[in-house]
Amino acid sequence: CGESWPTCDGQIVPAVLEGARAVEFTHRVASGVAIVAVGVLAVWVFRVFGRGHLARKAAVLSVVAIIGEALIGAWLVLAALVGSNDSVARSVSVPLHLVNTLLLLAALTLTAFWAGGGGPLRPGTNRGFAMWSGVIVVGTVLVAIRENEQRARFLGYDTDRYKLVAFVLSATVTSLRSW
């Protein structure tokens, strides 16, 4: 779709949808639908649940995160930080986009959890919280390594250790699959 945003090469719906253009256009449409869906969710939560309810707080976080997704995505496109761009700005923006996506997922999950009657989370008593926090950190570092291993190394990550963890987990899952 080029460096035009939110349109695709200046068109709302491009005449030709093939290859990378089809992927980019589909991504933009899905993002637009997601923004509307999160907005509808937030309105519903505010109508159903009273002031101070945890579901309301999570819904607000969801709205903030989806707006962040749109702004970071727009920045990536308008600043031409896509494709084979190997700049420092891209190596910061892409992982930031991923982290924001994970925060959006967490906020939506908490909205559903608290709207369904779940109680407050207490990180000190919930080992799953600590485990998933670690998974998020490892996943983010692995994405940084995939994007540019040398830069991840310069940032202080022991890339060999992270790749070993990924390899061992992959081999374990693969062996369980064939079991």
Q: Which residues are known to be catalytic?
A: 24
Q: How far apart (Å, rounded) are the C-alpha atoms in residues 75 and 177?
A: 40
Residue pair 35/70 in contact by the 8 Å Cβ criterion: yes
Residue pair 80/1 in contact by the 8 Å Cβ criterion: no
- Cα 172 versus chain centre, distance: 25
Dihedral angle, C-alpha 62, 92, 147, 6, nearest 10 ° = 60
Alpha helices in the chain (DSSP H): 19-48, 54-78, 88-115, 127-147, 149-154, 159-177
Q: What count of residues does the chain have?
A: 179
